[in-house]
Structure 1
Amino acid sequence: MFVRTVYATGDPAKLDQALDGLRAEAVGLLAAQPGYRGYGLFANRELGIVTMGSWWESAQAERDSDAQLKQRRAELLQPFAGTVTTDTWEAVVAARPAQAGPGAWFRLTKFDFDRADADRIAAAYREGALPAMQKVDGFLGGSMLLNTEDERGSVGGLFADKAALDASRGAVAQARAKAVAAGGVTLRSLEEFEVVLLDLPQHG
């Protein structure tokens, strides 16, 4: 699958207005596009950050949907967003949860890598970090996204609630250290977000 992510920053006082609009319209707009496979909306209310990702069955479906929706997306993010960054990725590992209830949280790690190591990095996550995370109480699912052209990647993990997220930090730190060493990546950032909305349609 392929994923389009949006990372927007702005005035925290205006964040709820943007979230309200996205909650009301995003899933309907996305689901009307061919190849739609899911959507997540996440927020850091204190700092004023909105990040979201939409999942697509092919790179072409992602591109076509972006052409159709980018204007309305920009409108929904205003007047909150002072900066907006859009990226595209391939989901090289995906263990998505069947569902995530109210109060779920999301941890996002971003890294740089050498494109020649892409397969090794994916294997390190699939065979090492992800199985370790699946033993952590409250862990619901995770995925690794890579952009081999730009040599950037990210790992996202969903947790049942804030308490589970907080309690997982020690175990996650150990798994992350092993995965970074095994994959030979350069860690760039680590962030945590409230899950505002998660749509995971089931496709047989």
Structure 2
Amino acid sequence: MYVRSIYATGDPADLDGVAEALRTEGRELLSAQPGFRGMGLFADRELGKLLVGSWWEDEASRQASYENLGKRRAELMAPFARTMTVDNWEAAVARRTEDLGPGAGFRLVRMDVQPSDIDLLVDTFRDTALPGLQKVAGLSGISLLVDRDRGRAAVGALYTDRDALTASRGAVAAVRGKAAAKTRATTSSLEEFEVLLATAVPHA
């Protein structure tokens, strides 16, 4: 599977209206596109950040949807977004079994990794890190996204509620440290968000 992420920042006072438009009309627009497989919508209301992830069956569907929805996407984001970054990813690992909504929590870790070490990172995550992470209380879904050309990766983890997200920090940090030592990946950012919408996606 393939993923497109949109990361926008703006005035926190303008976030709720745009988030609701993305949760309703945005989801409908994406769902009508061929190859669509799922969507996540995450917010940091305090700082004014929105993260939208859409999941696609293949790279061609992802690209076609981006072109088809470009004008309307810009209109939906305009009232909030003062900065906006679009990234494309390959979903190397995906484990998500249920839909989640408000009250759930999401942690995003971005990493830099040598392109030659991407496969090592994927194997280490799947074989070593994932079994430990799936034992963490409250974990509802987790994915590893990679950008082979640019030497980047991202791990997104969903938790059933904010308390579970908070309680997981120590255990997850230990797993992250062990995996980093094996793969030479370096963490470039660590963020936590409120889940506004997260639909189940097929395993990868």
**Count of aligned pairs:** 203
Cα deviation for residue 123 of structure 1 reads: 0.8
The more displaced of 154-163 and 68-77 is 68-77
Query: AA paired with 1:117?
Result: D
Deviations 1:160-197 (A, max 9, x none): 00000010011011011011111111110000000001
Residue 70 of structure 1: aligned partner? 70
* Structure 1 equivalent of residue 19 of structure 2: 19
Determine what percentage of the aligned residue pairs are the same residue: 51
Structure 1 ranges of 4+ moved more than 4 A: none
- Name the structure 2 match of 1:117: 117
Alignment partners' CA distance in 2, 1:102 and 1:74: 25
1:33-92 deviations in Å (ceiling 9; x for gaps)? 000000000000000000010000000000001001122111111211100000100001
Alpha-carbon separation, structure 1, partners of 2:119 and 2:20: 39
Q: Could you tell me how far apart the structure 1 residues matched to 2:145 and 2:48 are? A: 24
**Equivalent residues in 2 for 1:1-204, closer than 5 Å:** 1-200=1-200
**Code of the aligned partner of 1:189:** S
Unaligned runs of 5+ in 2: none
How large is the RMSD of aligned CA atoms in angstroms?
1.3
Q: Would the alpha carbon gap of residues 183 and 70 (structure 1) be closer, same or farther in structure 2, given more than 3 Å must change?
A: same
**Cα deviation, residue 150, structure 1:** 1.0
The question of whether the paired residues in 2 share the 8 Å contact of 1:27 and 1:199 is answered with no
Distance in 2, matches of 1:86 and 1:20, equals: 20
Counterpart CA distance in 2 for 1:183 and 1:96 is 24
- Inter-partner Cα distance in structure 2 for 1:166 and 1:135: 15
Q: How far off is 1:96 after superposition? A: 1.6
Q: Secondary structure at the match of 1:33?
A: coil
Q: TM-score, normalised by structure 1?
A: 0.96
Give the TM-score of the pair, scaled to structure 2. 0.96
Q: Match for 1:130: what amino acid?
A: L
* 1:201 Cα deviation after fit: 5.9
Partners of 1:164 and 1:94 in 2: how far apart?
A: 20
Looking at structure 1, the residues matched to 50 and 164 of structure 2 have their Cα atoms a distance apart, in angstroms, of: 22
Please give the alpha-carbon distance, in whole angstroms, between the structure 2 residues aligned to 1:199 and 1:5. Answer: 15
List alignment gaps of at least 5 residues for structure 1: none
Question: Structure 1 89/202 Cα, relative in aligned 2: closer, same or farther at 3 Å?
Answer: closer
